[in-house]
Structure 1
Amino acid sequence: MISNEPIEKLSEFTEFVESLPNEFMLSRGQAGEYDLLPSSLRLDKSNIRKYSRMASQYFLNEFKINSHNYMRFPTDINSEYEWMVYAQHYGIPTRLLDFTFSHVVSLMFAVENAFEDEENKDAEVWFLNPIQLNNKFAHRSEILNIANGESLNLENYEGPIAIKSRKLNERINAQNGLFVYFQDVINPVESPLNKIVDENILKRLVIKGEYKKDILSSLYSMGIGFTTLYPELQSVSKDIIMKLNIQEYLRAGDE
């Protein structure tokens, strides 16, 4: 794992990405410096799981029972893992952590709330080599495909692993997304992906907090906005507001 000097410009991000080995094909952007843990394994201030194993399974089971009337093809979900993918999209805590093949999408995730962040917190983008990750924990030299008919028990592996599935909703498709699956450990204190101290698997880039607005403005000038991440009507409204925020911010900078 490598911690680099914080970046201040989109061009510096591009330069870093161009210097990455091709194997670092996945990334994840975060608005703050957080552990790389999925929602169902995250910890409270006392380092205790917010959700027990029983609660996490309850959430998923209840989603299965209550979602059918709202799904076009509910019988098309083929496995427990695909149910996790689908349920996470609608806010159910799962053991899946989102990543993307698009590094610019990750950067947008890192800075998307720049105008709401009053503290100017540093953001970060993590870059992952999924092949090395899966070699380490699953002894497989590939991203595991949970939709190809292979009988997989992801609990049999020794640590978090990169998986891909069918693109079951518009967001996964728009974000070119896939996941890292975490085993259901009792105490996940040592489970965050960022605890892996191996520069052949994981690299980190910090975005300096006071420059997030500049980077967001640059992304917007390249046609990247909320509708890029979330292809839905609400994002149109968010892009309109972001456009005005950027215009006023740039105008203030010229004065």
Structure 2
Amino acid sequence: MEINNLHDLLNAVEKTEKSFRTEVWWRGQTQSWPLMAGIHRPDLGADENRSQCERDLTIRFLHGAMTRHTHWPEGDYPVQLAMMQHYRLPTRLLDWTESPLIALFFAVQNHDDEPGVLWALNPSALNFQEFRTRDLLPPYREDVIGLFQAPFGVAKKDIHRIASVVIRHVDVRMTVQLSAFTVHGANTPLNKHCGKESFLFKYEIPSKSKQLLRLELIGMGIRESNIFPDLDHLADELRKMAKLNLITGL
């Protein structure tokens, strides 16, 4: 199924909710990107060095973050990792959102020469595949916490599983984006998972439809400065709107 406008999006949401019959998480991205956490992507080098690379990135970011963020959640591994992810460090987390509109925003923002894709995830069904429970998992659970300790070099053992987890929001970006996360102890892309039919849907977005969808999203109040509530993104949004002649007098 293709999404060319917001009417198509509503149809996709209805279809997904009827099929999953539970909470749905959404993710928008360029179609060519693998559906896997950033730390596992091939552009970071050889797989045999991946664990060391992950620890090095995490510890270096940690050392710099404490002097740059006044309320850094020191000692809370899941929240720290979520913060790192939101500030674009490659981590073992994959971003999702509870809002299909916000996911669509990310699917159509860039790469106009490439198709986009909207992924729909049944987080409960994924956890049933991996942990035999339909609950959204707390990150501090005994068989889950190791997934968050590993990047900091303090895990007692490696856990090669993927989990849908609930991490508390401590940053405004996480709140406004209705953030949710899967944590990936394995490097298998979710769309290559042997049980993907039970928890994952894919909707394609033709490249020719991206500009129209961006305009429709602006009309719905889904704007860059709302998704990223800082002055840099406000300026970027206004510059783009001026190029589209969407700026009017106050």
Tell me the TM-score normalized by structure 1: 0.82
Match among 73, 96, 100 for residue 103 of structure 1: 100
Which SS does the other structure have where 2:132 is aligned? Answer: coil
| Equivalent pair of 2:112/2:207 in contact (CA under 8 Å) | no
Q: What is residue 154 of structure 2 aligned with on the other side?
A: none
The alpha carbon displacement at 1:207 in A equals 0.6
Secondary structure, counterpart of 1:199 in structure 2: helix
Gaps of 5+ in 1: 249-255
Does residue 1:128 correspond to 2:121, yes or no? yes
Is 1:14 paired with 2:10? yes
For 1:163 and 1:12, locate their aligned partners in 2 and report how far apart those are by CA, in whole Å: 29
Judge conservation of contact 2:26–2:119 (CA < 8 Å) in 1: yes
- Aligned equivalents of 1:163, 1:62: Cα separation in 2: 25
Q: CA deviation at 1:221?
A: 1.4
Verify the 8 A CA contact 2:96 2:179 in the aligned structure 1.
yes
Q: Secondary structure of 2:32's match?
A: coil
Tell me the CA shift for residue 51 of structure 1. Answer: 6.1
Of stretches 214-223 and 128-137 in structure 1, the one that deviates more from structure 2 is 214-223
Query: Which residues of structure 2 form unaligned runs of 5+?
Result: 148-157
> 1:91 matched to which residue of 2?
88
Counterpart of 2:50 in structure 1 is: 52
> What is the CA–CA distance in structure 2 between the aligned matches of 1:224 and 1:203, rounded to whole Å?
23
Q: Identity of counterpart residues, as a percentage?
A: 23
CA–CA separation in structure 2 for the residues paired with 1:48 and 1:10: 41
Q: Distance in 2 between matches of 1:207 and 1:245?
A: 24
Kept in 2: contact 1:24–1:127 (CA 8 A): no
How well do the aligned residues superpose, as a CA RMSD in angstroms? 2.3
1:63 is aligned to 61
Counterpart in the other structure of 1:36: 35
- String of CA shifts for 1:18-44, please: whole Å, max 9, x gaps: 222242510100033321111111014
CA contact (8 A) 1:26 1:102 kept: yes
3-state SS, counterpart of residue 204 of structure 2: strand
Q: Given the alignment of the two structures, is residue 139 of structure 1 paired with residue 132 of structure 2, yes or no?
A: yes
Structure 1 match to 2:236: 238
Give a deviation string over 1:53-101, Cα, whole Å, max 9, x none: 1011011112222322222233x43432222112222332210000011
Please state whether the residue corresponding to 1:205 is helix, strand or coil.
strand
Match of 2:170 among 156, 164, 168: 168
User: How far does the alpha carbon of each residue in 1:193-239 deviate from its partner, in whole angstroms, 9 at most, with x for none?
Assistant: 11125332000000111011011111111221102211111121122
- TM-score w.r.t. the length of structure 2 is 0.83
How far apart, in 2, do the equivalents of 1:230 and 1:49 lie? 33
- Which residue identity does 2:92 align to in structure 1? R
- Are 2:190 and 1:193 equivalent residues in the alignment? yes
Query: d(CA) in 2 for partners of 1:23 and 1:10?
Result: 22
Q: Which amino acid aligns with 1:131?
A: S
Q: How many residues align?
A: 231
User: What's the secondary structure of 1:206's corresponding residue?
Assistant: strand
